[in-house]
Amino acid sequence: MQTLLEAIRPTTFIRSEKLSGYLGIDLTIATETFQHTGSFKFRAAYNVALNVENEHLIAASSGNFGQALAYSAKLLGKKCHVVMPETSAKVKVDAVSNYGAVADLIDVNSIGREERVAQLMEEFPDAYQASAYDDPLVIDGNSTLGDEIADYKEDFDFVVVPVGGAGLISGISKALCGKDDRAKLIGAEPLIANDAARSLRLGKIVRNEQEPQTIADGARTVSVGNYNWEIIREGVQAIVEVSEANIKQALCLYFQLANLKVEPTGALSLAAMLENHDSFGGKKVCVVVSGGNVDPAIFVQILAG
Amino acid sequence: MQTLLEAIRPTTFIRSEKLSGYLGIDLTIATETFQHTGSFKFRAAYNVALNVENEHLIAASSGNFGQALAYSAKLLGKKCHVVMPETSAKVKVDAVSNYGAVADLIDVNSIGREERVAQLMEEFPDAYQASAYDDPLVIDGNSTLGDEIADYKEDFDFVVVPVGGAGLISGISKALCGKDDRAKLIGAEPLIANDAARSLRLGKIVRNEQEPQTIADGARTVSVGNYNWEIIREGVQAIVEVSEANIKQALCLYFQLANLKVEPTGALSLAAMLENHDSFGGKKVCVVVSGGNVDPAIFVQILAG
């Protein structure tokens, strides 16, 4: 059985003269696109699967956390159910199944995801209900990426991180706190899903009324988690709210100038450079790319403009 | 002034459970897509620019070597002319210009590339005429990638490398020779541009009658170089000839299963896995991706099938 640090892959740091030159920013990309299962979520999921005593894990996720939990459960010989809408892309359902987990497909018009998870928890009372972000084990898992950024040789002015449920940025905040007092930690969130930015302004958790339909599907969360909030309210300097157009533009710039395939949510931190260039121009910035799993049809559509 | 080993970026080794699982091959990807200027050519170009005494470099290249030479010249404060067809993609011309070199655009119906290079050499007799592959300095530069593969912790059964002018595979061959006697070195070449495979079969350099119009534009060479030939005739076990369909399929598999953006020429080594699966199934294989610079429109066209 591998420890978390044995199991994860180190993040991939990439520097692109073309992209830095184009933006006039001294940019370092920390990309999790080559992490196990293609996103940072493996750090969280493995840490959960490793540390809970339960032999069975249950979660609702149509995205990266489901794949990461399924693969972590496989590596650790545990059972896993992932509740997904039956309309999920086939590649995502197949990925969960291929990692040996049960993809529990639901008709979201008949039953909510949380409701179905509750049903499964009743059926399997010994299972652990895993949250994609609101769990100290998730935050600790994600903090390993913050450790890697702190250990990287550059003195960054800013570290910029995509925000959905705030699982990643809270982990990075925990890691950087005290270690790297120079770098300011900045979140990047879709403008049409700006609950975290509003929460930071109001000093309390604000919820979206419904799942916002941003193209950054990893940021379609209704609110940040409670554990995450207690960390980011202190550790995050600001959250840049980015337009859908800038998310798409950032994805294209990664592709054309840095040879990097990212998913829309992963492009949020670069989109913040476009959105708020005055703050970042001429600075040393680490942009975190959270993952690279995107439906090819959506990618082609964005690339074709 | 940086030495070659200080100037180059180490290659990026990537392992993808999804891609390995899909193919039934224990695959390690060594990708040069994040090398300076987006391809392995920087290793060669920098080594040339560093070691020749001439303060001016001249080459014909519409592709990766031109960009790499332009950037190397910039880093070393040398002058550089790159002869390119005036029909070259604007992004390629801009890349050469942005690195500070002169993009010398020609009408290929009026004058051949070699002829124009000869004109420039007459105009600038103190310049060095740089070849993209047929030069011992190029081979030595590329051998650094072979050193990295030899130093990697895996014992590979096969190391598979794209072949155009054979600059890369001859460099890797030179590095692996004696260091790693276990791994068999295999070339991957487009079937419709198979001069290297035919050369190996006949025991002498065979030339294509004209530039073959393979989608792998880095392999549109008329023949391998003389210096390259002397190395690969001994060091390369076989060259797999791959179909255009398998090149495209390999590019799509990288994108979908490994989150990797590669150019068609870079996909040749994975295409060899598809072409000749019986030889590679169940083996430990290192596939080298030579670069990632591809016109977005061509990429989208391939991805859309």
Interface contacts A/B by beta carbons within 8 Å: 61
- Residues B100/B102/B107/B112 CA torsion (nearest 10 deg): -120
Q: B94, B70, B38: which is closest to B262 by C-alpha?
A: B38
pLDDT score for A123: 97
Q: Are A66 and A92 contacting, i.e. CB atoms less than 8 angstroms apart?
A: yes
The residue in chain B having the minimum alpha-carbon distance to the alpha carbon of residue A91 is: B256
The lowest-confidence range among B64-78, B176-190, B221-235 is B176-190
On the question of pLDDT at A247 being above 90, the answer is yes
Percentage of chain A with pLDDT > 70? 99
Contact yes or no for A91 and B21 at CB 8 A: no
Rounded distance between C-alpha atoms, residue A31 and residue A16, angstroms: 13
Give, to the nearest 10 degrees, the angle between helix A244-258 and helix A296-303. 90
Dump the DSSP string for B272-291. HHHHTHHHHTTSEEEEEE-B
- Comparing CB atoms, the residue among A17, A258, A300 nearest residue B300 is A300
Closest CA to A224 of A164, A162, A174, A175: A164
Q: Which position has the token pair 């003389």?
A: B226
Determine the distance from the C-alpha atom of residue B224 to the mean position of all C-alpha atoms in its chain, rounded to a whole number: 12
Q: Which of B21, B95, B259 sits opposite A33 (nearest CB)?
A: B259
Q: What percent of chain A has pLDDT over 90?
A: 86
Predicted local confidence at residue A112, as pLDDT: 86
ipTM above 0.85, yes or no: yes
Kindly give, in sequence order, each residue whose CB lies less than 8 Å from that of residue B94, ignoring residues fewer than 6 positions away.
Answer: none
What percent of chain B clears pLDDT 70, i.e. is strictly above it? 99
From the candidates B259, B260, B289, which should be mutated to test the interface with A, based on the most A CB atoms within 10 A?
B259
pLDDT digits (tens, 9 = 90+) for A77-125: 999 999 998 888 787 888 899 999 999 999 988 998 889 999 999 999 9
The DSSP letter of residue B292 is: -
Q: Which residues of A touch B15 (CB under 8 A)?
A: 9
Indicate the pLDDT class of residue B185, thresholds 50, 70 and 90.
very high
pLDDT over threshold 80, residue B181:
no
Q: What is the pLDDT of residues A35-73, one digit of tens each?
A: 999 999 999 999 999 999 999 999 999 889 999 999 999
Q: What is the mean pLDDT of residues B255-276?
A: 97
Give the C-alpha separation, A4 to A44, whole Å: 9
| Residue B57 φ then ψ, to 5° | -120, 140
Looking at residue B30, what is its pLDDT? 98
Q: For chain A, list the domains and their CATH numbers.
A: 4-39+135-304 (3.40.50.1100), 41-130 (3.40.50.1100)
When the pLDDT of each residue in chain B is averaged and rounded to a whole number, the result is 95
What's the gap in Å between the CA of B32 and the closest CA on chain A? 10
Residue A178 in this model has a pLDDT that exceeds 80: no
**Residue B113: pLDDT band with limits 50, 70, 90:** confident
Residue range B240-262: mean pLDDT, rounded: 98
Question: Among A16-30, B177-191, B226-240, which stretch is predicted with the lowest mean pLDDT?
Answer: B177-191
Full-model pTM: 0.95
Query: Is residue A180 scored above 70 in pLDDT?
Result: no
Tokens (6 digits) for B222: 């008329």
Q: In the prediction, which pLDDT does B88 show?
A: 83
Choice between B112 and B58, residue whose per-residue pLDDT is larger: B58
Q: Which of A18, A72, A254 to mutate to test binding with chain B, by most B CBs within 10 Å of its CB? A: A18
Closest CA of chain B from A34, distance in Å = 7
- Chain B residues whose C-beta is within 8 A of a chain A C-beta are 9, 12, 14-18, 21, 33-34, 36-38, 71, 91, 95, 98, 252, 255-256, 258-261, 292-293, 296, 299-300, 303-304
How far is Cα B131 from Cα B69, in angstroms, rounded to an integer? Answer: 10
pLDDT band at A283 (very low <50, low <70, confident <90, very high): very high
Rounded to whole angstroms, the Cα distance separating B31 from A305 reads 28
The CA–CA distances, whole Å, from B174 to A145, B168, B169 equal: 38, 10, 8
- Compare all CA atoms of chain A with the CA of B291 and give the residue at the minimum distance: A259
The pLDDT of residue B216 is 95
For residues B20-40, give the mean pLDDT.
97
Write the residue in B37, B95, B296 that is nearest to A255 by C-beta: B296
> Which residue, chain included where needed, has tokens 């590669």?
B262
pLDDT at A276: 97
Q: Which residues, at least 6 apart from B96, have a Cβ–Cβ distance to it below 8 Å? A: B66, B67, B70, B82, B84, B103
**pLDDT of res. B180:** 64
For chain A, the three-class secondary structure string (H helix, E strand, C coil) is CCCHHHHCCCCEEECCHHHHHHHCCEEEEEECCCCHHHECHHHHHHHHHHHCCCCEEEEECCCHHHHHHHHHHHHCCCEEEEEEECCCCHHHHHHHHHCCCEEEEECCCCCCHHHHHHHHHHHCCCCEECCCCCCHHHHHHHHHHHHHHHHCCCCCCEEEEECCCCHHHHHHHHHHCCCCCCCEEEEEEEHHHCHHHHHHHHCCCCCCCCCCCCCCHHHCCCCCCHHHHHHHHHHCCEEEEECHHHHHHHHHHHHHHHCECCCHHHHHHHHHHHHCHHHHCCCEEEEEECECCCCHHHHHHHHCC
B85 pLDDT more than 80: yes
Tokens standing for residue B113: 């590339």
Identify the H or E element spanning B142.
helix B136-151
Range from A94-108, B22-36, B277-291 carrying the lowest mean pLDDT: A94-108
User: What pLDDT digit, counting tens, does each position of A144-160 carry?
Assistant: 999 999 999 889 999 99
pLDDT in tens, A256-272: 999 999 999 999 999 99
